Structure 1
Amino acid sequence: MAPSPLRSKTTLKHARSRSFPPRSHPIVSQFDEHLSRVKSSSEATSSCLSSFTCRLGDLENLFDYTEDLLQLQHIQQAMPLEKLDELLEGYLKVLDVCAAIKNLLSNEKQNRQDLLSALRRRRTMDDISRYLTSRKKSKKMMQKLLKDLKSIMKKNNFASKKPETSAIVGELQDIQLVTLGLFKALLSYVNGTGSQSSSWSMLSKIMPSKSEEVEANEFDNVDAALCSLLSHIKTSKYEELQNQLREMEANIEVLEEGLECFFRRLIKTRVSLLNILNH
């Protein structure tokens, strides 16, 4: 009779192997393939806000595979119990970051709605100044969250590379890293590439010199256009600016919905890990 791929929990506590049991379920292969694809796509640079929605959808599909994986008996038995608390803590941090990003995006959307309404009515400099002040505060919050994210990712990366880390635990930590990596890229994108130390530094993003061109994203473009208005530079692009704001508002709303679904997905995965721990 062929040896069983199942191992006792006692043996697993001291396992150093990073391979799955030799006779794995097909779901394991599907999970591995999807994880590899998501890792590869995570290295791509996003060119617009809507691309993050697509990447978030791919990540949510990965969590569907993860949920299927965690229901397999031999995978549950291959889960070192002393590592479950570490995993659960990691997923709790991912949930906290996801919630913080949802709140930041909600504020960004609301600020754009208020500004769009003001531009339709009055086009006053006070409204633009108020928006830019709010945007500056939001950027500071994002920079703080980015700093925290880098620290969490560094710890997770160190933990996943420990020689005693089993295969399933290592891959679940990899998922945390990929998720946090996407959150970091999203925050960096929304934060923008430019600095708001002055109106002219922002204006340079849309009027680069011949010797130096700066790549700016849609957040930079809107901020720069508003700074140009605030500096009383003549412009006839109010309508174009309003169209940009409307498009960004719609994209942020779609991304918000995606993050809400993903947040619930994260909770489900954490509950599955808790069930394994309790049984």
Structure 2
Amino acid sequence: MTEPHCHVRSISMPTRSHPITVEIEKILRTLRTSELSTRLKSETINVHLAGLIEAYNCIEDLLQLPLTQQGMSSRCHEKWIEDELNESVRLLDVCSTAKDVLLQMKDQAQDLQTVLRSRGSEADKQQKVRAYLCFRKKMNKNINKCLGELKRMDTTSVPTSLVSQDQHQEMVIKVVKEVREITISFFHTLLSFISSPALKPKSRKWSLVSKFIHNGKKGLEALETSIKDLETGLQCLFKRLIEFRVTLLNICTQ
């Protein structure tokens, strides 16, 4: 079976001079230079998340350009679009898992704070702390499964070579690929961050539960604040991932 022929369209304006291209290259440079590690504060992760959302905003604008729509609707890009649609589903699943985990963590942290602030008995508080620590342990198992999926995604290669030599379409594909890779890296860092131990006791003389009761209140308040900010950002990113998928599907139906 012969490969579909792709018509190369002339571009009156150089691709690199397009405002959208300039903007997304600027965002990608920032994201590259601010590469995340697993030892970060939630504020830094939120900044990176905001940059990632902006990158998807630019991708949406890029995909809506008539030049992009015309080029991507040709048969020679069907396989690339199909592969990206498959990867988008996997990213949406990971994002959904991260949102669910944060919601559960927030609810558990709020319940535990209520108990620790109450005038209840020490035994009741210890029981609640143990339940919270068991929840964190169970949650970390689910996160580890998600991290395994991210690792598999990181090794998945979506072909970037085109039959067409159209520079604009080549640029679009490379940008989408890089943003996807940055997204995978971000989720890996985020999930590693929220799965960090609930408490690291410095002294073996104190039980983990007792130390949590004495020192955990401030940490729970900080955790709740961090989660609220991350929840808002993840919800926005989730919407951008859906928009990206819908746009690709619309291109397929043209």
**In which range does the TM-score fall when normalised by the shorter chain?**
0.7 to 0.9
Structure 2 matches for 1:1-279, cutoff 5 A? 10-11=5-6, 23-24=14-15, 25-43=18-36, 47-79=40-72, 80-121=77-118, 122=120, 123=122, 124-155=125-156, 158-160=157-159, 163-164=161-162, 166-192=170-196, 202-203=200-201, 206=202, 228-230=207-209, 232=210, 238=214, 240-279=215-254
Structure of higher RCO (CA pairs closer than 8 Å, 6+ residues apart): 2
Gaps of 5+ in 2: 164-169
Q: What number of residue pairs does the alignment pair up?
A: 232
CA-CA distance at 1:163 after TM superposition: 4.3
Q: Deviations over 1:212-251 (max 9, x none)?
A: xxxxxxxxxxxxxxx8452x56x9x73x531221121121
Alignment-mate amino acid for residue 69 of structure 2:
Q
8 A Cα contact 1:87 1:169, kept in partner:
no
Spell out, residue by residue over 1:182-205, the C-alpha distance to the aligned partner (whole angstroms, 9 max, x if none): 01100011111x5x9xx9xx42xx
Deviation by residue 1:151-186 (Cα, 9 ceiling, x = unmatched): 01210xx325x5448432232122111111101100
CA distance in 1, matches of 2:89, 2:239: 12
Partner of 1:213: none
- The TM-score normalised by the length of structure 1 is 0.74
Cα distance, 1:61 vs. partner?
0.9
**3-state SS of paired residue (2:40):** coil
**1:254-278: per-residue Cα shift (whole Å, max 9, x none)?**
2111111111111112111111111
- The runs of at least 4 aligned residues of structure 1 exceeding 3 Å deviation read 43-46, 162-167
Cα drift, residue 111 of structure 1: 1.2
- The answer as to whether partners of 1:98 and 1:263 remain within 8 angstroms in 2 is yes
Alpha-carbon shift at residue 48 of structure 1 (Å): 1.0
Distance 2:194 2:38 in 1: 13
Question: TM-score w.r.t. structure 2 length?
Answer: 0.81
Which letter maps to 1:120? R
Give the SS at the match of 1:10.
Answer: coil
- Matches of 2:12 and 2:151, distance apart in 1: 33
Q: What's the counterpart of residue 166 of structure 2?
A: none
Matched to 2:14, the amino acid is R
Cα distance in structure 1, aligned partners of 2:37 and 2:149 = 22
Gaps of 5+ in 1: 1-8, 209-226
- What SS class does the counterpart of residue 232 from structure 2 fall into? helix
SS in 2 for 1:69: helix
Q: Measure, in 1, the Cα distance between the counterparts of 2:6 and 2:12.
A: 13
Aligned residues of 2:84 and 2:158 also touching (Cα < 8 A): no
Contact 2:36 2:45 in 1 (8 A): no
Give CA deviations for 1:97-119 in whole Å, capped at 9, x if unaligned: 10010001111111111111111
C-alpha separation in 2, matches of 1:67 and 1:77: 15
Shift of 1:207: 5.0
**1:16-59 superposed Cα distances (whole Å, 9 cap, x missing partner):** xxxx9972233222222222222322345652123222211111
Task: Answer yes or no: is the 8 Å Cα contact 1:91–1:266 preserved in 2.
Answer: yes
Once structures 1 and 2 are overlaid, which stretch shifts more, 70-79 or 172-181?
70-79
Find the counterpart in structure 2 of residue 5 from structure 1.
none
- For 1:21 and 1:142, locate their aligned partners in 2 and report how far apart those are by CA, in whole Å: 48
Q: What RMSD in Å do the two structures reach over aligned CA positions?
A: 2.8
2:167 match: none
Asked if 2 retains the 8 angstrom alpha-carbon contact of 1:50 and 1:255, the reply is: no
